[in-house]
Amino acid sequence: MVVSNFDKRLLIEQIRYMETEHPLACDTEEHFSDHNVHKDFEDRLWLRAQRLVEQHNLSLMLGRAAKLSRYVKMFIFFMAALLGALGSIYAITDNHTINIYWLLLVLLGFNLLSMLLWLTGIGLNIKGLTSGMLARLTSWLPEHLKSKSQTTDAGNDKNGMPFDKAWLDCHFSGAVGKWQLSKITHQLWLVYLFTGLLFLILLLMVRQYDFVWGTTLLSDSIFIKMTDVLSVPLDILGFATPSADLVQETRIGSLPSDTAQTLTVEHRYHWAQFLLGSLLCFGIAPRILLWSWSVMMYRRAQNLFTLDHYLPYYINLRQRLMPLASHGEIVDADTSPLVIAETQVKKPLPHALPVETQWVAVELDDNMSWPPPSIHMANDLGQVINRESLTLILQRLQGNRRPVIAVAVSSARSPDRGVQRTITSLMSNSAQRWLVLLKEHVDEPVSSTRLAAWYRLAEACDVPADHLITMIME
Amino acid sequence: MTESKQESSYPTINIAVVGHTNAGKTSLIRTLLRDDQFGNIEDTAGTTRSVEKSVIFAGDDAVLNLFDTPGFEDSSALLKALEDLSKTVETHLPADLLRGFISQTEKFPDFEQETKVLRQSLNSDVLLYIIDVREPLLGKYSDEVEILSMAGKPILPVFNFIAGNDESLKRWREQMARFNLHAALEFDTVAFDFEAEKRLYQKLQSLLERHYGTLQTLIDYRQEVWKGLVHAGAQRIFQLLTQVACYRREVAGKDGISDADVTSMQDFVREAEQLALRDLLTIFAFTQRDVDLQQLAVRDGQWELDIFSPRALKDFSLNTGATALKGAAAGAGIDLMVGGMSLGAATMLGAALGAGWATLRRYKHELVAAWQGHKWLCADDGTVSLLYLRQRKLLRTLTQRGHAAQNKIQLSDNVEHALPKRWHKVVKVLRQNPEWQHNKSSGLEYQQIQTDVINWLTSDEKVA
């Protein structure tokens, strides 16, 4: 079964209304966000909505509004049919003489008025005029439901009220609502007119009526002219219509009673045809036209019905169902997980360095000038910044037998394996090993993770804890 | 159409994100993915120890494969090992030397992490080399570039942590130029708006001529999605403004407005703003971490400064009147000028046609209240204006992720406190249409106001 776009969107909206009040968990959501599914956003929303319906067993609740509205519609159609039938019967059954223009006014007058109002309403886009009572009802009902659902919320977790409200909102608001109401209005009038016509034919078939007309205020010529004008389309359609003489003769009291008897058969036939033709031509036919137009516009409005993708609800779902990126696939895994030994961060006690200490700086920050004034030039071996400088310093160290080595580093920088290797090679042949953490000034913040990393490095390089000291560069 | 189909049949572009340990590789990927759950970020070396792949899509087409790699830790020793190896093995291309090295990993157990980087670099189309510009120009970094260039792949240096480090950035640019790497990208993981992201893809376009169209598709797609997010944010703010401006509460006449009435109004406004805040953070996929980065006055999804506190008004240089602290205004009766305007020509005509009861119905509450001597309690102009300014600032901060980080003083300086010219007129119209509070209207006037407010919220121009 092909589901129309409107029905898909309706279901999605119903789920949105529900989820705005009670979030629903979807067990297979990841599946819909799979980029290999190759569906657009709304298709994914629909698939997800369908899954939710299945998972939470919502189909009964979802269909409730539609089912209810079908019953209501059937009921009002029945009422319209009843009114049409009663209208016809009451208009002509009380006596055997029918006032032809009065009857036309009764059957078509209100219809015409309502049609004019509807056209004005559509033309000027005034909701209240297009469908009268129906529009009132449909604008009141959702509000009513809303307040009702708020009051019943506390007790019942999943009543279907949001579904009903969504259904009503989708069907009876905006362009869809306008044409939906127009469609129903025309249908109602059609039912009314058809049953009216049917009962009229039945009555005219089995009973004999005399047709007359009369006026108190207007002149006779107006009626004769009007009949002529009304007859033009009827003639074309092949209905027998009364001639000018015949109209004149039907005027109440225009003929002596004896001749009336001879003319009445023709009279009756022509007037009955005129009556039925007028009903068809001026009542039913325009309504059918307007109804088909409304149906057309209704379908168009349904096709144009869109979801507001800018609502936070949809934005959120888009992020979940259509992620811009995916991650988490490890392609080259770590085979030997890093074990970070817990090192206690203790502020080392200041300790005096031997006078003959040889100083080497390793990868200092740009803003630290090496050597600082406190270190004698003769004791400074230089700074390691690349392979060449390391080689040079190592060569210098070789001339020294088991020296006391102090390696100075920026405490704010993070040590890596290269730094560790460099320091190890510098200290390899030393009698005493010192690691000096340089700080630019006393208040320079150093994160505890950085400090911990330096402590670990000192441990790895066999620097005793009391040989790990902090020095201020100022 | 056929063109784009051909493009989508191109293989996905493989990008290896490489660099020294702790340079911010994982941060860059997080920012590009707009996903702060990706990877681990820590202040110590060797946080990332495996190669992890992420995919960036344009619609359903996978466009970029981003590979997060472990950081280089000892490139000098690695380069030395490679040099030693080149003496024993004869190779035509430097890449062959790398392959040779990778094939003998068991000989170099120290370089397990580096081997992964090399392997991934050889398998990628382009390398994003992340640089922490705060670092001194050390030999190990030159060694890294030298090793990476052996892979024979285009390298795009990406300068990270550039905020406030202009001098270092300049030195690093010169350093990269020495390696003939002139095309580079400035990037800040904190200060990162869509334009910055676009620049990255454009740089890639110039390096990967063959993938030009694919990357353009990606830029267009991301741009469209981004625009949608901004629009959604503005629309949500408009909804909040409508809710608050349309709020009214009937107060029985004689005793005037009680404190309880005011409190209930204030609670309504607070709750509405809270919900909007939550929605906005959701729309831009922000978390408390991002909120902190942006220096937003938001804590656990709550504004730190209550909208009815006197400081809130002062922060936005709004006039504090006598009622401003309460944020309440006694309700306007029927403002015929505004009423006429908001009812619209069609309804007025309808009324003239005899459907006057529509007008009556529209004003029936007002009329009944006027007759009974009741009053309306509304949110005052100051409150609605403050709400507008605060939300506008929020939207700006969320969309321009980063002014906060580039220069901390800039954020507060950057916010204009001016309201749009037609602002007060719009608030008046909103206030006269309480039915808009919960229902969107398809009416022309409502649509027009919505368009205007969204434009005000999203436009960059300074308003007079």
In a domain, B464, yes or no: no
Mean pLDDT of A392-414: 86
- Do B426 and B371 reside in the same domain of the chain? yes
- Per-residue confidence at B335, pLDDT binned at 50, 70, 90? very low
Segment A29-88, tens digit of pLDDT: 777 666 666 678 888 888 889 889 988 888 888 888 899 889 988 998 999 899 888 888
B435 → chain A, closest CA residue: A143
- Per-residue confidence at B13, pLDDT binned at 50, 70, 90? very high
Angle between helices B381-399 and B212-245 (to 10 degrees): 160
CB B389 within 8 A of CB B419: yes
DSSP code for A213? B
- Do A28 and A154 reside in the same domain of the chain? yes
Mean pLDDT of A398-414: 85
Higher pLDDT, B395 or A290: A290
pLDDT of residue A119: 86
Segment B179-207, tens digit of pLDDT: 999 888 887 766 667 887 888 899 999 99
- Do A26 and A115 reside in the same domain of the chain? yes
What are the CA-CA distances from residue B411 to residues B397, B401, B403, B406 (Å)? 8, 11, 6, 9
Q: What is the CATH number of the domain that holds B183?
A: 3.40.50.300
- Do B254 and B319 reside in the same domain of the chain? yes
Q: Is B141's pLDDT higher than 90? A: yes
- Do B263 and B185 reside in the same domain of the chain? no
Nearest to A457 by CA among A421, A430, A406: A421
A337 → chain B, closest CA residue: B49
Calculate how close chain B gets to A295, using CA atoms only, in Å: 21
- Looking at the DSSP assignment, which residues form a beta bridge with residue A436? A408, A469
Q: Which domain holds residue A415?
A: 358-472
Nearest to A386 by CA among B46, B361, B199, B76: B76
HSE (side-chain half, CA atoms, 13 Å) at A267: 23
- Do A380 and A430 reside in the same domain of the chain? yes
Q: Is A331's pLDDT higher than 60? A: yes
In a domain, A90, yes or no: yes
- Do A284 and A390 reside in the same domain of the chain? no
- Do B176 and B246 reside in the same domain of the chain? no
CB A142 within 8 A of CB A170: no
- Do B162 and B258 reside in the same domain of the chain? no
- Do B237 and B377 reside in the same domain of the chain? yes
Q: Is B405's pLDDT higher than 50? A: no
- Do A68 and A135 reside in the same domain of the chain? yes
Which residue matches tokens 């980029």?
A: A35
B276 → chain A, closest CA residue: A312
> Where does residue B311 rank: exposed (0-12), middle (13-18), buried (19+ CB within 10 A)?
exposed
The Cα–Cα gap between A148 and A154 comes to 11
Mean pLDDT of B298-318: 66
Which residue matches tokens 């259904």?
A: A167
The answer to whether the CB atoms of B38 and A125 lie below 8 A apart is no
- Do A387 and A248 reside in the same domain of the chain? no
The Cα–Cα gap between A121 and A124 comes to 5
Segment A223-239, tens digit of pLDDT: 888 888 888 888 888 88
In a domain, B277, yes or no: yes
Give the tokens for residue B205: 């376009």
Nearest to A40 by CA among A321, A407, A394: A321
- Do B71 and B160 reside in the same domain of the chain? yes
Q: Which letter, b or e, does each residue of B375-402 get, where b requires 16 or more Cβ atoms within 10 Å of its Cβ?
A: bbbbbbbbbbbbbbbbbbbbbbbbbbbb
* Cis peptide preceding A286, ω within 30 of 0: no
- Do B123 and B242 reside in the same domain of the chain? no
H/E run at residue A358: strand A358-362
Work out the percent of chain B whose per-residue pLDDT is above 90: 28
Calculate how close chain B gets to A385, using CA atoms only, in Å: 5
Distance of CA B266 to the CA centre of its chain: 30
In a domain, B438, yes or no: yes
CB A153 within 8 A of CB A21: yes
In a domain, A107, yes or no: yes
Segment B79-130, tens digit of pLDDT: 999 999 988 888 888 899 999 999 988 888 889 889 999 999 999 999 999 9
Q: Which of B158, B189, B220 is the last residue of a domain?
A: B189
Pick the range with the lowest mean pLDDT from A33-42, A256-265, A356-365, B32-41: A256-265
In a domain, A206, yes or no: yes
> Where does residue A63 rank: exposed (0-12), middle (13-18), buried (19+ CB within 10 A)?
middle
Nearest to A198 by CA among A102, A284, A288: A284
- Do A308 and A394 reside in the same domain of the chain? no
In a domain, B220, yes or no: no
- Do B149 and B282 reside in the same domain of the chain? no
Q: What is the mean pLDDT of chain A?
A: 81
HSE (side-chain half, CA atoms, 13 Å) at B114: 27
Segment B242-298, tens digit of pLDDT: 999 888 877 765 566 677 888 888 888 888 888 888 888 888 877 666 666 555 666
- Do B236 and B370 reside in the same domain of the chain? yes
**Coil, strand or helix: which one is B437?**
coil
Q: How many structural domains compose chain A?
A: 2
pLDDT of residue A169: 85
Q: B76 contacts in A (CB within 8 Å)?
A: 386-387, 390, 418
Segment A187-230, tens digit of pLDDT: 989 999 999 899 989 988 888 887 878 778 888 888 888 888 88
- Do A306 and A365 reside in the same domain of the chain? no
Interface probe for B, chosen from A387, A421, A422, A423 (most Cβ of B below 10 Å), is: A387
Pick the range with the lowest mean pLDDT from A243-247, A331-335, A417-421, B122-126: A331-335
Pick the range with the lowest mean pLDDT from A171-175, A338-342, B433-437: A338-342
The answer to whether the CB atoms of A387 and B139 lie below 8 A apart is yes
Interface probe for B, chosen from A165, A316, A327, A420 (most Cβ of B below 10 Å), is: A327
In a domain, A19, yes or no: yes
Mean pLDDT of B343-347: 41
A324 → chain B, closest CA residue: B57
pTM: 0.72
- Do A81 and A215 reside in the same domain of the chain? yes
Q: Which domain holds residue B350?
A: 228-458
Interface probe for B, chosen from A147, A310, A318, A320 (most Cβ of B below 10 Å), is: A310
In a domain, A353, yes or no: no
Q: B51 contacts in A (CB within 8 Å)?
A: 330-333
| DSSP assignment of B55-73 | EEEETTEEEEEEEE-PPBS
In a domain, A331, yes or no: no
Mean pLDDT of A335-348: 53
From the list A39, A327, A416, the residue facing B21 with the nearest CB is: A416
In a domain, A333, yes or no: no
- Do B141 and B233 reside in the same domain of the chain? no
Give the tokens for residue A295: 């149906």
Q: Which of B189, B214, B237 is the last residue of a domain?
A: B189
- Do A262 and A373 reside in the same domain of the chain? no
In a domain, B197, yes or no: no
The Cα–Cα gap between B240 and A278 comes to 56
Segment A373-397, tens digit of pLDDT: 888 888 888 999 999 999 999 988 8
CB B179 within 8 A of CB B149: yes
From the list A35, A319, A331, the residue facing B53 with the nearest CB is: A331
CB B159 within 8 A of CB B131: yes
CB A66 within 8 A of CB A72: no
